[in-house]
């Protein structure tokens, strides 16, 4: 892979003002595969100025015209699935089959979903003597993470473009290569100059410059809760809108009438998806105390079906963690949990056998985890599951709601109505009932310190709209 030396600004690939390269490391080999420029404040200024100039014309294009471009981008991206999936597997370690199906497949579906939404969405509504109109908010600064490096970009950019906004994107410096591919796609399909701009770099430099910039009307951020707080504080000086999708510590509540074997399989799959590097992962499995020992036996058997290996190996289900810092963090959490009294049921902090190079950890299941302990309260962001017994349904709900987060969760029961009733009592933005599937048209976002605002579907579109009333 070639090193990147340019940014996409105002419809052109232009040299970066910030010349120091940031290495892109393959987490499976710990070797550099590419590099991107470390953008400077001047790069952000150029990109924002381009987006501001483009906004006047783009904001008044017809929904049909915007839909056609989004649909064309979906087709162009889909045609490059194999290539872009390989990029993502190389930059952040996802198994190749998962990269094709999810890391690229979901962005294609999201682009198409916004093309479809625009066909029917009402940007105007008559209320008595008032005409209520929804208008694009303006220039959007999008700051995205490394765990779903293309999907998280498209979830923001597709919605913003559909609304009529222009965008300056800062992707994660850990996994920025797929964002370059998206810029090429937008260029290929004829997106007008300045509507989408790409500047890579470090959060404290490029992200900060976007958050404080007076000509940026909104910042949409996905990442850690700590970084989200910094973005919100930086943006406060200009009172711009801030949408945050932050961390999670989601609970999977297995009720006493559930098919325990099926529930365990569903819960473990959700926890281990993308190597556990998923903000919505159910990292706490709550099981009835009377079934706790049986659950651990079933989990042990199910966990054996998650081989760890190189992302390009066909049988791999869990690849390496995305970077060295994440590896150290996850291993540290496992070690601290054991020091606090947890028991390693599966896995542990040691490297998987035969994988001495690369940021690999064993998929780990912890028993004896006490509510309120560090590993039960904090986001690990790795393939680490805490199994927690409970005595009553109310206790399960209290444990599920007992963290600072509220992003996602799951409930499993033999009675659908009972499961829904429990789901309603969980203080979280999303709950899967009996294995309900991901829906790209449903709102995605959380309560409490998991953030504010929503992505995907009509709710995601409306994040990028201002509401105006005209009294007639």
- CATH number for the domain including 238? 3.40.605.10
What share of the chain has pLDDT > 70, as a percent? 100
Choosing from 173, 208, 245, 376, the catalytic residue is 245
Q: Chain-centre distance of CA 247, in angstroms?
A: 9
User: Looking at the structure, do residues 211 and 310 belong to the same domain, yes or no?
Assistant: no
Q: Is 68 a catalytic residue?
A: no
Residue 186 resides in a domain = yes
Q: What are φ and ψ of residue 311, in 5° steps? A: -60, -30
H/E element holding 37? strand 31-37
User: Looking at the structure, do residues 174 and 314 belong to the same domain, yes or no?
Assistant: no
Residue 445 resides in a domain = no
Check: CB of residue 285 under 8 Å from CB of residue 417.
no
User: Looking at the structure, do residues 31 and 158 belong to the same domain, yes or no?
Assistant: yes
Check: CB of residue 220 under 8 Å from CB of residue 463.
yes
User: Looking at the structure, do residues 330 and 393 belong to the same domain, yes or no?
Assistant: yes
Task: Quote the pLDDT of residue 241.
Answer: 98
Measured distance CA(415)–CA(91) in Å, rounded: 43
User: Looking at the structure, do residues 181 and 53 belong to the same domain, yes or no?
Assistant: yes
Rounded mean pLDDT, 293-315: 96
Task: Quote the pLDDT of residue 203.
Answer: 96
Q: What is the CATH number of the domain that holds 320?
A: 3.40.309.10
User: Looking at the structure, do residues 232 and 340 belong to the same domain, yes or no?
Assistant: no
Q: Is 458 a catalytic residue?
A: no
Residue 110 resides in a domain = yes
Q: Domain count for the chain, please give it.
A: 2
Rounded mean pLDDT, 427-447: 96
**pLDDT tens column, 19-46:** 689 999 999 999 999 999 999 999 999 9
Residue 1 resides in a domain = no
Measured distance CA(101)–CA(32) in Å, rounded: 25
Query: By C-alpha distance, which of 385, 438, 421, 429 is closest to 405?
Result: 429
Handedness of CA 370, 298, 310, 278 (dihedral sign): negative
User: Looking at the structure, do residues 209 and 318 belong to the same domain, yes or no?
Assistant: no
Measured distance CA(38)–CA(18) in Å, rounded: 5
User: Looking at the structure, do residues 233 and 302 belong to the same domain, yes or no?
Assistant: no
Measured distance CA(383)–CA(330) in Å, rounded: 8
User: Looking at the structure, do residues 33 and 147 belong to the same domain, yes or no?
Assistant: yes
Residues 6+ apart with CB under 8 A from 180: 4, 8, 36, 198
User: Looking at the structure, do residues 41 and 92 belong to the same domain, yes or no?
Assistant: yes
Q: For residue 144, what are the domain limits?
A: 6-246+450-471
Residue 444 resides in a domain = no
Over 70: is that where the pLDDT of 293 sits? yes
Check: CB of residue 193 under 8 Å from CB of residue 58.
no
User: Looking at the structure, do residues 237 and 120 belong to the same domain, yes or no?
Assistant: yes
Choosing from 208, 279, 376, 455, the catalytic residue is 279
Query: By C-alpha distance, which of 176, 169, 221, 218 is closest to 191?
Result: 169
Residue 331 resides in a domain = yes
User: Looking at the structure, do residues 272 and 229 belong to the same domain, yes or no?
Assistant: no
Name beta bridge partners: 344: 366
Task: Quote the pLDDT of residue 2.
Answer: 87
Q: Whole-number mean pLDDT of the chain?
A: 97
Count, residues in the chain: 472
Over 80: is that where the pLDDT of 13 sits? yes
Which residue blocks in 340-415 are alpha helix, DSSP H? 374-377, 393-400
Task: Quote the pLDDT of residue 18.
Answer: 65
């Amino acid at each position: 892979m070639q090193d990147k030396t340019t940014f996409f600004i105002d419809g052109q690939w232009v040299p970066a003002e910030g010349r120091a390269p940031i290495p892109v490391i393959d987490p499976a080999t710990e070797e550099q595969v590419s590099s991107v420029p470390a953008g400077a404040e001047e790069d952000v200024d150029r990109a924002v100025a381009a987006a501001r100039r483009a906004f006047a014309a783009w904001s008044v294009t017809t929904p049909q015209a915007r839909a056609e471009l989004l649909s064309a981008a979906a087709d162009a991206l889909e045609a490059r699935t194999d290539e872009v999936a390989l990029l993502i597997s190389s930059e952040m370690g996802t198994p190749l089959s998962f990269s094709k199906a999810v890391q690229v497949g979901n962005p294609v579906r999201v682009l198409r979903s916004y093309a479809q939404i625009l066909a029917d969405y009402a940007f105007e509504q008559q209320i008595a003597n008032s005409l209520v109109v929804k208008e694009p908010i303006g220039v959007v600064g999008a700051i995205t993470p490394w765990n779903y490096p293309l999907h998280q970009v498209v979830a923001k950019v597709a919605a913003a473009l559909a609304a009529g906004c222009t965008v300056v994107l800062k992707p994660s410096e850990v996994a920025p290569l797929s964002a370059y591919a998206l810029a090429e796609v937008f260029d290929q399909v004829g997106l007008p100059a300045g509507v989408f701009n790409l500047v890579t770099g470090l959060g404290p430099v490029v992200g900060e410059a976007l958050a404080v910039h007076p000509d940026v009307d909104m910042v949409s951020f996905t990442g850690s809760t700590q970084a989200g707080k910094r973005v919100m504080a930086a943006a406060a000086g200009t009172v711009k809108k801030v949408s945050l999708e932050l961390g999670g510590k989601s609970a999977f509540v297995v009720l006493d009438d559930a098919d325990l074997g099926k529930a365990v399989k569903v819960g473990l799959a959700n926890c281990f998806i993308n190597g556990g590097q998923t903000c919505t992962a159910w990292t706490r499995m709550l099981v009835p105390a009377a079934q706790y020992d049986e659950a651990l036996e079933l989990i042990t058997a199910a966990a054996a079906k998650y081989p760890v290996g190189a992302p390009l190996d066909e049988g791999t289900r869990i690849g390496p963690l995305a970077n060295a810092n994440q590896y150290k963090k996850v291993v540290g959490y496992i070690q601290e949990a054991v020091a606090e009294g947890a028991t390693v049921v599966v896995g542990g902090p040691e490297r998987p056998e035969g994988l001495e190079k690369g940021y690999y950890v064993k998929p780990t299941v912890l028993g004896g985890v006490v509510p309120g302990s560090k590993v039960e309260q904090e986001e690990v962001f790795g393939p680490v599951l805490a199994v927690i017994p409970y005595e009553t349904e109310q206790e399960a709900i209290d444990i599920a709601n007992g963290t600072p987060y509220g992003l996602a969760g799951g409930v499993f029961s033999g009675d659908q109505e009972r499961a829904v009733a429990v789901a309603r009592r969980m203080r979280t933005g999303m709950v899967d009932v009996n294995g309900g599937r991901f829906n790209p048209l449903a709102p995605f976002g959380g309560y409490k310190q998991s953030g504010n605002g929503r992505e995907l579907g009509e709710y995601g579109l409306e994040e990028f709209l201002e509401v105006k009333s005209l009294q007639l």
